[in-house]
Amino acid sequence: MLLICAWALPVGGAGALAALFLQRLIGLVTNLVFYQRWDTALVAPGLHHHPWWLVLLAPVAGGLVIGVMARYGSEKIRGHGMPEAIEAILTGGSRVAPKVALLKPVSAAISIGTGGPFGAEGPIIMTGGAIGSMLAQALRLSADERKTLLVSGAAAGMAATFNSPMAAVLLAVELLLFEWRPRSFVPVVGAVAVATVTRGVLMGTGPVFPVPTTGLHLNGGVTALAAVVGLTGGVLAVAATWLVYRAEDAFARLPFHWMWWPAIGGAVIGLGGLVEPRALGVGYDVIDQLLTGRASTSLIIGILVVKTLIWSLSLGSGTSGGVLAPVFMIGGALGAWEGMLLPQVIPGFWAMAGLAAVVGGVMRSPLTGVVFTLELTHAWPTALPLLVASTTGYALSTLILKRSILTEKIARRGLHLTREYSTDPLETFFAEEVMRREPHVLAAGHRPDPAFLATLRDEAAAGHGQRLYPVTADDGSLAGVATRRDLLAGADGDAGADAVQEARVVIRPDDTLRHVAYLFAEHHVTSAPVVGHSPGFPAGRVLGVISLRDLLHARRHDLTEEHHRQRLIPRQATAPAAAVAAQVVSRTPM
């Protein structure tokens, strides 16, 4: 862990520099295309009036360039970055090609700089992850260690983009690591810390969208209304996710190569830009207006409708760009619109609630949605209503959709991904609890009698019975093992000769079933003797035999706890039948 943590620190610094480079590159492309000037400052495309043909054709040209880059450079630059990073972790051994580290930020800068309504965070995740992965590939590391460095780079880029270290770590845990262990958590935090400090030196330490909380007074009514905002945010999250994948399905039915799809997506963006120019680009300035209560009604409605449509439809074309910034803007617009009807709390409060709700629903990461909103605004006293809004949006999304905008794309590539964290049932049982006690034991050097061999043949034909037989020495200690197949196959049935083998795996009674499963997988066995050791068990004595079938006991127990319902405290009933029924239920074993 300490070695990986040491390597994660420079990865964090590199991720911060990559984030700064991408933002400057987006600014350069935006200025060149829409303002015809050489400047790297991040600026919105729709701040001033542009010729209609520029608004319409710039995204189309950007889409053409991205299609060519994807076809002749790397197809991995298509999409919004996070599913690609997840796929690299799940199936690629956390290996990312070096050219992706170069092509992904360039393609994202072209896509966003020509008006694409996307965010920079997805490409940053892929670019920062590529940096960590390339370093890991140059070292002698395991796949899990490569994963840790890949995620360290991805989280570092995210933290540097939004000055949000806690949200970046949560995003890494909820979306990329698929575990919460010290071996990965500590290096990721180290990388994020370095990236945040580096970001402070280069871009400042203040919140990206500061929201003053002066005059904030929260009560139960406000918190309850936050749940209402959460419900509407969940509905919007479901609708946007549905639109993205219906658009992807529609593009897949087109009778020409996918290289041309981003250009069609660009045409959709251009048409939307003619209706609401402020919907183009990253839109950080619009997010700031929404979260500080300065957005006009026309801007709120325009963003809510146009941004949702052009982002969802164009993202389905396979262009390059992230999802977080658009989700921030769409969620903020929803909350700001609802805030016109809800009681005034502080300027931007309901926009914050809408942002948290839509992030929770779209990303299926409710805690990340809350912490992101708090770190973006530094409005820390609003934590409770934001938690209610984000969790409500998340709950509604999970009830309606099987998968999120991220996991759906992974599933469409033939992969299974679970985002549910729970205790491994194999960790909650010990070998002594499920082993076969008092197994039949053979004595070393003694020939099994014919009756015993006949019993073995009957059990083998029926497909049940003991399959592994411990062989003990004169002092009762384990001398080896013999399988039923070897015993039956022996020419003379001599258990002390060819049938006896050294036990490749010996289980202790206090080993967890998870440890047993690892040993079985490592040594390619399906059964093993359980041997006592001091203190607490007879040292060296065979206590039982454990097999793969016994490991299912833990899973059966887990299923029982999840699905078996029972009343432990019986109802007070006057009818004798009801009383008897209650007593029967109360005796039902757990």
Domain assignment present for 174: yes
Query: Which segment of 237-246, 384-393, 463-472, 492-501 scores lowest on mean pLDDT?
Result: 492-501
- Which pLDDT does position 62 carry in this prediction? 92
Residues 125, 43 share a domain: yes
| 194 vs 315, higher pLDDT | 194
- Which pLDDT does position 273 carry in this prediction? 92
- Which residue(s) pair with 443 in the sheet? 472
Quote the CA–CA distance of 25 and 106 in Å, as a whole number: 8
- Please report the sign of the dihedral spanned by the C-alpha atoms of residue 141, residue 142, residue 147, residue 148: negative
Query: Which segment of 126-130, 301-305, 522-526 scores lowest on mean pLDDT?
Result: 126-130
**Neighbour order of strands in the sheet with 442-443:** 442-443, 468-472, 478-483
Q: Region 206-218: what's the mean pLDDT?
A: 89
Residues 242, 319 share a domain: yes
Residues 178, 66 share a domain: yes
Given pLDDT bands bounded at 50, 70 and 90, which one contains residue 309? very high
- Which pLDDT does position 415 carry in this prediction? 61
Domain assignment present for 585: no
Query: Which segment of 61-70, 81-90, 164-173, 397-406 scores lowest on mean pLDDT?
Result: 81-90
**Residue 202's Cα: distance from chain center in Å?**
30
- Which pLDDT does position 264 carry in this prediction? 93
- Which residue(s) pair with 472 in the sheet? 443, 478
Domain assignment present for 236: yes
- Which pLDDT does position 583 carry in this prediction? 44
- CATH number, domain containing residue 230: 1.10.3080.10
Residues 152, 59 share a domain: yes
Q: Region 58-71: what's the mean pLDDT?
A: 92
Q: Is the pLDDT of residue 581 over 80?
A: no
Residues 270, 156 share a domain: no
Residues 227, 169 share a domain: no
- Which pLDDT does position 396 carry in this prediction? 94
- CATH number, domain containing residue 437: 3.10.580.10
Residues 152, 258 share a domain: no
Residues 230, 197 share a domain: no
Residue 290, CA distances (Å) to 163, 226, 429 in order: 19, 17, 52
Q: Region 414-441: what's the mean pLDDT?
A: 76
Q: Is the pLDDT of residue 227 over 90?
A: yes
Q: Is the pLDDT of residue 495 over 70?
A: no
Q: What is the tens place of the pLDDT at every residue in 327-343? A: 899 999 999 999 999 99
- Our count of domains for the chain comes to 3
Q: Is the pLDDT of residue 419 over 60?
A: no
Quote the CA–CA distance of 331 and 312 in Å, as a whole number: 14
Domain assignment present for 118: yes
Domain assignment present for 74: yes
Q: Is the pLDDT of residue 76 over 80?
A: no
Query: Which segment of 106-115, 215-224, 415-424, 435-444 scores lowest on mean pLDDT?
Result: 415-424
Q: What is the tens place of the pLDDT at every residue in 91-110? A: 666 777 777 778 888 888 89
Q: Is the pLDDT of residue 440 over 90?
A: no
**Interior angle at CA 511, CA 517 and CA 518, nearest 5:** 20
Domain assignment present for 582: no
Domain assignment present for 213: no
Residues 119, 80 share a domain: yes
Query: Which segment of 75-89, 209-223, 350-364, 530-544 scores lowest on mean pLDDT?
Result: 75-89
Quote the CA–CA distance of 79 and 315 in Å, as a whole number: 7
Residues 6+ apart with CB under 8 A from 98: 130, 134
Contact 278, 44 (CB under 8 A): yes
- Which pLDDT does position 589 carry in this prediction? 37
Residues 278, 235 share a domain: yes
Amino acid at 164: S
Residues 128, 183 share a domain: yes
Q: Region 284-292: what's the mean pLDDT?
A: 91
Given pLDDT bands bounded at 50, 70 and 90, which one contains residue 352? very high
Residues 367, 294 share a domain: yes
Using the 3D structure, point to which of 378, 412, 446 is the last residue of a domain: 412
Q: Region 28-44: what's the mean pLDDT?
A: 90
No. of helices (H) and no. of strands (E), the chain: 24, 6
- The string of DSSP codes covering 177-233 is IS---HHHHHHHHHHHHHHHHHHHHHH-SS-SS----TT----HHHHHHHHHHHHHH
Quote the CA–CA distance of 429 and 557 in Å, as a whole number: 10
The DSSP 8-state label assigned to residue 575 in this structure reads: S
| 362 vs 228, higher pLDDT | 228
Domain span holding position 251 = 222-412
Q: Which of 294-303, 313-322, 399-408, 567-576 has the highest mean pLDDT?
A: 294-303
Domain assignment present for 590: no
Q: Is the pLDDT of residue 498 over 70?
A: no
Q: Is the pLDDT of residue 491 over 60?
A: no
